[in-house]
Amino acid sequence: MSNDKVLKSNEFIIGTKQTVKALKEGIVKELIVAKDADPKLVEKAINEAHKQDVPIQYCDSMKRLGKACGIQVGAAAVAIIR
């Protein structure tokens, strides 16, 4: 469901490090996290999203989220930016 938002959006950031950076810059509209991602990997992004009051949606798998972003590998976190 949430990966449909990525497909419709043309402005997104892929990856946890880049997502955390974008969250700190205040440009993230929504965070999408893969349910099967290592919790330690996405913890900083989720915590920063909570601090910034950014809504968090969950996608079934990293593979599916990566595919929605148009990449050949899985994605743990994706930020839809303003």
CATH code, 40: 3.30.1330.30
This prediction has a pTM of 0.86
18-25 long-range Cβ contacts below 8 angstroms, 24+ apart: 18/79, 19/45, 19/77, 19/78, 19/79, 20/44, 20/45, 20/48, 22/79, 22/81, 23/48, 23/49, 23/51, 23/52, 23/54, 23/79, 24/48
- % of the chain at pLDDT higher than 90: 80
When divided into structural domains, the chain yields a total of 1
**pLDDT of 67-78, one tens digit each?**
988 899 999 999
Range of the domain at 41: 2-81
CB 59 within 8 A of CB 4: no
